[in-house]
Structure 1
Amino acid sequence: MDVQDDKVMQKRQILKFDLKKMDEQVKEVSDDIAVEFALTIKVNGEEFATMICTPTHLKELVIGFLASEGLIRFKEDIEDINIDINTGFAFIELKNKSIKASEFNEKRFVGSCCGKSRQFYFQNDVKTAKTINSKMSITVPQCLNLMSLLEGQSKHFKKTGGVHQGALCNSTDIVIFQSDIGRHNVLDKIYGQWLFKKMTLQDKCIVFSGRISSEVLLKVAKIGVGLIISKSAPTNLALDLADDLGITVIGFVRGSKLNVYTHPERIIT
């Protein structure tokens, strides 16, 4: 089971400076800090990866991560899953006992900041990243509204400012919402939760708070969604991949503005 909110955020006494307040430029206050949690995944008895994450929806995180990495295709491929919060281990037994985690990758450390973990996303991408043929279309006001809905969701972000947020949405509302200190973890949690629900993705998009890196774009492709809407910027490699995989990338969604970078045919003007 997931831990409670008091394990997701911790209180810490800090000094808060505000030079505009002449009478009280510094004061000691209690601040909410986002928690980093290390979760080691063992598959069929083999150590597979250690993830740094927010300790919520860990079952969805693990299942989504295994699906993204190509070890499973459906949640039914898992015979048993046991997550021990106290020791920080997730024990996964697959129905296919011949699958060896070591054959997919050596033991890996997947950090909360995606920049140094790119090499971990190329080994199985050819098998798991899909060319998308989504029929979804969306208007600019709908994009702006979805971003507004996302920003109103996460109490952990409002209190700490230290987590990313993401959601699987239709054109008007949020269907699945997740948050985590790691951008890629957010998408794995969404993927894992979707594997439990198994709804159609033809009319769905991903709305996201973080930068659209190549890793993020590949996660979206592996989920099978044809449109990602982000408050932040994309990278050039992410856009190259989006061009090739048929994914519409929308970035810098702020206020009344946004940029459409790839496959604008899904935007209703």
Structure 2
Amino acid sequence: MSSIIANVNAKRISIVQGDIVDFIDEVATEVKVSIYIDGMLVNIFSTSPYRLLELGLGYILAHKFNILDERYIRVQGTDIYIENVTKAFNECKLKEENVKVPKDTVFQVFREILDKARLFRRTGCFHVAAIAKLSGDIIDFVEDISRLCAFYKVIGGAYRKGVDLGKTFIVMSSRASSSIVEGIANVCIPIAVFRGAPTLNAIEVSNRFSITLIAHMREGRANIYTKPERILYA
């Protein structure tokens, strides 16, 4: 597997100073990863070349598949083979009274994941995803060139640690798309925080599945679009 970051030769142009300078830049690498379920190719992703087992595990969980054991996930090069899965038809029933988190905890975790985003600071090319307990303890953290793969990897990582996802919240640096929010609903995470903007479909999906959707997250401010009852303001 290749490294996550590579060095390349580049030239920097300065309009102000009117010069061109040679320098070595750090850029993200990516690989094409194929996912097979019971021998059938189901998807191909461009992703950062690490944590591929978590990618496969998070993918099947976010698409409502059940798997008996992670031993049925095999990574061979850039191919992920998953066997013995069944489709789950039950939906999560999230209740607002069961999950509460102070607003200060949400902002604290947001600050922490931005501080941890070393690959992004080096290249400007990575999305960030983290899952935290309601206490604010970060369970798993991922940087990836793909926001969707970052989501799958962090879900897979948290699941491998035996965490009850129904008592966590997820924080992502990307926009809130309906596909990611649907995946969040499928793994029963009740609170989703995004640095970027939400789409209308993402808001509608959040309402349908009783997810607290927070977006436009910045230092000291954020917008809550659905189910604000879970956020404690005192």
Aligned with residue 42 of structure 2, among 27, 41, 48: 48
Higher strand share: 2
Gaps of 5+ in 2: none
Q: Taking structure 1 as reference, are residues 17 and 145 closer, same or farther at Cα in structure 2, changes over 3 Å only?
A: farther
Distance 1:25 1:136 in 2: 57
Report Cα offsets for 1:83-131 as digits up to 9, x if no partner. Answer: 222xx2223332x6xx7xxxxxxxxxxxxxxxxxxxxxxxx8x937534
Gaps of 5+ in 1: 100-123
**Amino-acid identity (%):** 22
Q: Taking structure 1 as reference, are residues 33 and 157 closer, same or farther at Cα in structure 2, changes over 3 Å only?
A: same
User: 1:1-269 to 2 correspondence within 5 Å?
Assistant: 3=1, 7-20=3-16, 22=17, 25-70=19-64, 72-74=65-67, 76=69, 79-85=71-77, 88-94=78-84, 127=89, 130-133=92-95, 135-170=98-133, 171-269=135-233
Distance 1:58 1:161 in 2: 22
Contact 1:75–1:196, Cα closer than 8 Å, also in 2: no
DSSP-derived class of the 1:159 partner: helix
Q: Taking structure 1 as reference, are residues 31 and 217 closer, same or farther at Cα in structure 2, changes over 3 Å only?
A: same
TM-score w.r.t. length of structure 2: 0.89
Contact 2:63–2:183, Cα closer than 8 Å, also in 1: no
Distance 2:19 2:190 in 1: 49
RMSD: 2.2
TM-score w.r.t. length of structure 1: 0.78
Offset at residue 152 of structure 1 (A): 1.2
DSSP-derived class of the 1:205 partner: strand
Contact 1:68–1:128, Cα closer than 8 Å, also in 2: no
DSSP-derived class of the 1:56 partner: coil
Amino acid at match of 1:178: V
Offset at residue 255 of structure 1 (A): 1.9
DSSP-derived class of the 2:165 partner: coil
Q: Taking structure 1 as reference, are residues 187 and 127 closer, same or farther at Cα in structure 2, changes over 3 Å only?
A: farther
